[in-house]
Amino acid sequence: MSIGLSGIITPLEKMAAYDGPWRIMRRETTLLQTRLNELRERERRLDDVLLVALVGGSGVGKSTLLNALAGDQIAETSEMRPCTSAPTVYHPPGMRFNLSDLPGVRHVGRSALEQIALIDTPDSDTIVKVHRAIVEQVLKECDLILLCADGEKYLDEATWSLLYPLRGMRAMVCVETRAMRADTAVRDHWLMYLRDKGFRIEQYFRVNALRTFNRKLGLSNGAGEEFDFAALEKYLHTFDREHVTRIKTSNAWGLLAKTVNRLHERLEKGAAPLDELQAALNRQDQALIQETLRHFTAGPLAEPHLWVQALGREVSLRAKGGIGGLYKIIEVLRSLPYRMPALLSFGDQAQHQEIHAGALFDGQEYGSEKRVLPETLTNAYSMLRSDMRRRLIQAGFDMPDLFQEDDFAEELNSRLRAVFGGAVREGLAARARLLCAWPFAMLLDCLPLAMLVHTTFLILRAYWEGTLLPASSFLHVGVVFALLVLAELFLFSSGVRLFAWAARKKGLDLLKTAMARPGLAFKQEKHLLEEAHALVRTIAQIQNELTIK
C-alpha cells in the first residue's frame, strides 16, 4: 500500500488500542481492530491475483456465466433448483487460494485469465445459513464483484442486504445474464437504483450466458444474439498488474474511508457534551481556586502576628549584641502560647488553624498525616468533584473505582511548599539578615553600653576620691538604663513588625499567584476530557486527509 495509507493506519492502530473510560470510543475498538486487520491482510495480498466473486440470487445464471467464460462445464448448473453449495474457484494454473479455509472449496486451475480468479458462490437469496455465510465470507475477501441478475431479480432484497455493508469498499461490475432482446429498461433502472444506494459501478454488461456456453460447447449453431459477452471477455482479459493493483488499492482506501467515517460519526455524536463538560470543569476549578484563596488569604495566614512570629523566629536565630540577646529571650517566651497547643495537642479550631499556618513558616509539609486539609476545603472539593463525576458518567465515561481523591491535597501541598519553602522563606531570611546586621546591632547597643561605661567611670572616680555615691543615683541610673533598653527593644520590635508587614503583603501576593494557576485540582477529570478531545481531533484530521486525497 502507499505510504499515505500506512501513515493513516498508524494513528488508527493507536485508537484501536484505546482501553480508557470513554465508553463511546471503547465500543468502537473491536470493529476498528477488525477493519485494520482486514486492511493489513489486503496489504499482504496486494501482489496476488484479483479475486472476482460471481454473486446473485438463485437461478440468475452465475454458474452458467462461469462455464461460458471457461468454455467448459466446470460448475454444475440447473434451471429447476439451486445447485451451488460451495465456491468454485476458476484460476490460472499453479495458483491456489485459501479463502479462509471455507469448507468444500473446489479449485479449477486452467484459466487463461492471468491476473484474475473467478469464484462462483452459492445463491445470495438462499435460506440455508451455511450457504449465506459462505457468500458473506467470499464477499469479505474478494476484490471485485460480478453482480449477476436477470430482469426479475436485479432488485432482490436478500442480495442487497449482503452488498449494503460493502458500499464504497469493493469495485463492482453489473452483469445482466439473461438478456433476450435489445431493451435497456432493466439496465437504466438498475444503474439508477445503484447510484441512489451509493454503489460504485465500473462496468455494465448485458449478456446471454446460456447461448454463449452452448455455442462454445458446439451445442448450437451460434443462432441468437449474445449481446455484450465478447466485451465482457475482453474486459476480463485486459486486466494487467497495474489495473489489479489500482482496484485493490481503491478497495483498501474505500474500506479505510468507511471505517474512518463511521468512527468520526460516532465520536462526533459522543463529543457533543465534551465542550459543555470542559466549561463546567473550568467553572468548578475556578470555584475551588477562589475558595482556597479565601481560606488562606483571609484566614490564619492573613493574621499579622503570624508573620511577626515567623520573622521574629528568623531574627532570633541571627540576633547579635545585647539588645539582640534580650530580643531572643523575649521571642522564646512570646512564642510559648503558640507552641504549647501544638506540643500538647489541645486548643480550639481557630488555634489549630494558626498552628497549621505557622507550620508553613517552619518548612513543614502542609497536608501530610499531621497536617490534613481544612474541613472547609475538603467539603468544598468533595461537593464539586461529586458533581463533576456525575456529569462525566452521564456523558458516557466510566469513572475508575480507585479514582484518587488526594490529588488536590498533593497539588496544594506542592504549591504551598513552593511559596513558603521558597520565596517567602528567602524573603523572611533576607529581612532578618538586614535587621541583624552588625551595623544595626552596634547602633542599638552603643547607647546602653555608653551609659554602662559612664556609670562605671563615676563609680571608679568616687572610689578613688574616697566618696560615696548616693543610693538615689544608682536608682536613677537603673531606671534610665531600663528605659533606654526598653526603648531600644521597642525600636527593634517595631522594625521587625514593619518588615513582617512588608513580608506578609509580598507573601500573600505570591500565594494568590500560585493558587490562581490552572491545574490546582480535577487533574484526572481534565485528563479524561483531554484524551477524549484528542481522539476526536485525530479522527477529524484523518477524515480531512482522506477527503483531500
Q: What is the mean pLDDT of the chain?
A: 83
Q: Given pLDDT bands bounded at 50, 70 and 90, which one contains residue 518?
A: confident
Contact yes or no for 171/250 (Cβ under 8 A): yes
**Residue 2, all three cell numbers:** 502507499
Q: Catalogue all structural domains in the chain, each as residue range(s) with its CATH number.
A: 45-239 (3.40.50.300), 274-436+503-518 (no CATH)
| pLDDT attached to residue 517 | 85
pLDDT at site 515? 85
Handedness of CA 365, 367, 368, 370 (dihedral sign): positive
Res. 21: pLDDT tops 80: yes
Question: How confident is the model over 312-353, as pLDDT tens digits?
Answer: 888 888 888 888 888 888 887 877 766 555 455 444 444 444
Residue range 278-305: average pLDDT? 84
pLDDT of residue 402: 46
Neighbours of 317 (CB within 10 A): 12
Closest CA to 287 of 295, 392, 505, 531: 295
Map 64-115 to HEC letters: HHHHHHHCCCCCCCCCCCCCCCCCEEECCCCCCCCHHHCCCCEEECCCCCCC
The whole-model pTM stands at 0.71
Find the range with the poorest average confidence among 39-53, 146-160, 209-223, 296-310: 296-310
The percentage of the chain sitting over the pLDDT mark of 90, rounded to a whole number, equals 26
Q: Which of 20-24, 359-363, 435-439 has the lowest mean pLDDT?
A: 359-363
- Distances in Å between the Cα of 102 and the Cα atoms of 137, 142, 239, 421, 465 are 8, 13, 27, 73, 134
Position 212 confidence tier, pLDDT thresholds 50, 70, 90: very high
**Count of CB atoms within 10 A of residue 9's CB?**
20
Q: Which strand ranges, in their side-by-side order, compose the sheet holding 171-176?
A: 106-108, 88-90, 116-120, 50-55, 144-149, 171-176, 201-206
Give residue 411's pLDDT band: very low, low, confident or very high (50, 70, 90). Answer: confident
- pLDDT surpasses 90 at 401: no
Is pLDDT above 70 for 294?
A: yes
**Average pLDDT of span 142-154:** 93
pLDDT at 351: 42
Q: How many Å apart are CA 121 and CA 40, to the nearest integer?
A: 25
368: pLDDT confidence band, cut at 50, 70 and 90?
very low
pLDDT reported for residue 75: 81
- The answer to whether residue 201 scores a pLDDT higher than 50 is yes
- Angle, helices 375-394 vs 523-548, to 10°: value is 30
Residue 179 clears pLDDT 50, i.e. is over it: yes
Residue 327 is which amino acid?
Y
Average pLDDT over residues 470-474: 81
Buried b (16+ CB within 10 A) or exposed e, 56-93: bbbbbbbbbbbbbbbeeebbebeeeebebeebbbbbee
Report the pLDDT value the prediction gives residue 90, as an integer from 0 to 100. 92
In this structure, what C-alpha cell is assigned to residue 430? 533576607
pLDDT of residue 4: 61
What is the average per-residue pLDDT within 83-97? 80
Q: Which three cell numbers stand for residue 188?
A: 437504466
CB atoms within 10 A of CB 491: 13
Report how far apart the first and last C-alpha atoms of the chain are (Å, whole number): 14
Q: Quick one: three-class SS letters along 392-407?
A: HHHCCECCCCCCCCCH
Question: 316 near 492, Cβ under 8 Å?
Answer: no
pLDDT at 348: 45
Beta bridge partners of 176: 149, 206
Which amino acid makes up residue 239?
Answer: F
Task: Work out the pLDDT band at 271, boundaries 50, 70, 90.
Answer: confident
